[in-house]
Chains A and B, each alone.
Chain A
Amino acid sequence: MSIRRKEKLIHTLRWIVKGRWAIIVGILAVGLAQRSINVVSIHLPSSVMITLALTAITYNLTYYFLLRRGMRLNAWTLRILAIAQVFVDQLLFTYIIYISGSSESLSFIFYFFPILIATVLFRNIGILLFAFVNSLLYIFLIVIEMNTILPFVARYDFVSGIHGNIPVMISNTLTIVAVIMLAAFFSTYISNMIRDREREILTEQDKVNSILNSLPDGVIMIDVTGKVIALNPQGAEMLQVKASAIIDNILVKENFIPELQELGAHIIQQGSHTHIESKEIEVEERGMRHVYKITTIPVFNALGKIMGSMKVITDYTRERELDRMKSDFISIAAHQLRTPLSGVKWLLKMIIDGDMGPLNEEQRKFLTRGYQNQERMISLINDLLDVSRIEEGRFKLNTELQQIEKSIIESIRAIETLAQKKNIQVRFIKPEKLLPPVLFDKEKIELVLQNLLDNAIKYTKKNGHVLVNILQEGNMVTVSIQDNGVGIPQDQQKKLFSKFFRARNVMQMHTDGSGLGLFIVKNVLTTHGGDVGIESEEGKGTKVWFSLPIHRV
């Protein structure tokens, strides 16, 4: 017998003991009530009644004390206890039937109690067997009473005519036996139904448990009162707690070791009951640094009522370490690439500026071309650096609630020289009333603005114009940059934001683009919870817009 089944059996037996107390009290009350009615002659001396009651009480107490030993009892003792008590019950009820008039008695109804108990404890054959024993006991009682082996105890003060009338007695007995057997038969049906349901629940529970236990993440479920409902082994290991010590108890910070106090505080926290939250926590433990991500998920029951929250604890140590290594690699690679490039850049600039002696016009012209190529190389490296930062998911935002106007003005100032060279007018149409501040990363959004303005100027012919507009639409602030430049062919517009893409018509105009600018723009805006889009007509101009949420999403 498995431990779980044993626990269950002990639990059931304890309930039966409790139920029996109710039966004893009930029958005693019925007996006392009948004594006060004249027609029904209880020819039972009080001493016998008291003895009977005491017997029942003693025997139920014996069970009670035996069961208190609980799990220390072995399986066979428990089985015998289960069978014995049903049989003893049947014997006691048979005796009660006898002293209340045998064939005249209505106490055969009490036989349903042992059958009910058998239904809870046993299966089909067990139940039918007890019903059969029961029937035998009853028939035996009637037969010996008929043969006057036992003296007849009359139920009524008058002659009922049942006792001694053989056909009536046989007919009554058969009816009662039939009812007992039918009741037992019906009980087997109920018992099977209960067992099926139990099995279904257990399978379901097993399924849920095996899923929880095989997850690589730690899972802990806390109800609305703060009590732990479930904890998988991974969770117990990560939190360094013993599952048996905290399940079914209110979780408190004392459950956690000192190093895990911060982590513990986040586990105890109930969290939002409306949406999923997650937080990364660093833990320093025995000289080892761990990064845990805790995701708090509100859990609702089938009726949509909040049950509590589930915390999923993921070990992010390795991922974060890899992130760090990658970003170190990228910044060192960029550093190493830039160092020789800056040497060449500085040298060319100094030669062009005449710091190394006079130059003729042709030399200056070619060196300037060389210098421009060098600049292209540097900006390519910068683009690649941005792209690799995006791709490793480390385009971390440094957001602050601020006015976007200021960034627009600064970005326009940065490209002014470029615009003046082509005599392109860049105009910023300021909104009439101050727009609400937006949560954004200044450096990143200025990168976006400069990219877009740079494109607008690059792909607009001399004497053109660029308009920058800003407006509020719902809970978004939208910035648009419109030029009257070369535009983008319709069939190329879809691919604009993909990496290394360059439109056909501009490839010939400017051969030096990396095709990374808009890819970076798109990524910056996506990480901000914003959006970007383009409307363009070839030959007429392009309007690029991007939006940022006013409230954090």
Chain B
Amino acid sequence: MTQQKKFAVLIIEDDTFLHELSKKKFIQQGYEVISAFNGEEGKRKIQQKFPDIILLDLLLPEMDGLDLLKELKENRATQHIPVVIVSNYSDRERVQKGLALGASDYIIKAHFTPDEIVQKVNTLLKKS
């Protein structure tokens, strides 16, 4: 995939296996991947460099995904960055809360392939 500009995707995911797989997929698709394994680390990485898009897991050590999302969306500097929730929680309350807090999409990991996730991200980035 040839891209004019390399998009930076921040993957915040504590499961190392899933993390590694999605990282590999996104790099192959021509993305620059920034990695974070917990909420606090994610926050630091965002402050270092604003990514173009964030893939956010919900159940994270140190800081819950939804809390991080809330902070990002309340901060003027970061609220423009699209956030896609990638979680295995499927209860309606969480999905609704995530979307209400300003997530661009909610992906249930087990229901999507890395391929499909990349496509979603592509579409979102094209829009913005």
Contact = CB atoms under 8 A, between A and B. Distances in A.
Question: Do A and B make up one complex?
Answer: yes
A342 B88 contact: yes
B59 A345 contact: no
A39 interface: no
Nearest to B94: A331
Contacts of B45: none
B113 A346 contact: yes
Contacts of B125: none
Interface string B7-41: 00000000101100110110010000000000000
Interface in B82-113: 87-92, 94, 108-111, 113
B67 interface: no
A338 B21 contact: no
Contact of A347 (B21, B59, B87): B21
Contacts of A338: 88, 108-110
Given A338-B109, A349-B114, A331 B28 contact: no
A343 B113 contact: no
B21 A334 contact: no
Among A342, A345, A381, the one with the most B-chain Cβ atoms within 10 Å of its Cβ is: A342
Contacts of A345: 110, 113
Given A335-B88, A335-B89, A343 B15 contact: yes
Contacts of A339: 15, 18, 88, 109
Contacts of B17: 343, 347
A342 B90 CA distance: 14
A345 B108 CA distance: 13
Interface in B38-88: 59, 87-88
B59 A335 contact: yes
Contacts of B108: 338
Contacts of A335: 59, 87-89
A331 B71 CA distance: 25
B113 A378 contact: no
A443 B111 CA distance: 16
B21 A331 contact: no
A331 B89 contact: yes
A347 B111 CA distance: 14
A378 B111 contact: yes
Contact of B92 (A343, A350, A398): A398
Contacts of A334: 88-90
Contacts of B22: 346
A406 B15 CA distance: 38
B118 to A, nearest CB: 11
A443 B87 CA distance: 19
Contacts of B109: 338-339, 342, 346
B102 to A, nearest CB: 21
Contact of B113 (A349, A382, A398): A349
A327 interface: yes
A341 B110 CA distance: 7
Contacts of B114: 346, 349-350, 355
Among B59, B88, B92, B113, the one with the most A-chain Cβ atoms within 10 Å of its Cβ is: B88
A422 to B, nearest CB: 22
A327 B115 CA distance: 31
Contact of B91 (A327, A343, A353, A398): A327
Interface string A342-365: 110111011001010000000000
Contact of B28 (A327, A341, A355, A378): A355
Nearest to B58: A335
Nearest to A328: B91
Nearest to B22: A346
Interface of B: 15, 17-18, 21-22, 24-25, 28, 59, 87-92, 94, 108-111, 113-115
16 contacts: A331-B91, A334-B90, A335-B87, A338-B88, A338-B109, A339-B18, A339-B109, A345-B113, A346-B22, A346-B113, A349-B114, A350-B25, A355-B25, A355-B114, A381-B110, A443-B92
**5 closest Cβ pairs, A-B complex:** A338-B88, A342-B109, A338-B110, A349-B113, A331-B91
Given A331-B90, A343-B17, 5 more contacts: A339-B18, A342-B88, A347-B17, A349-B114, A443-B92
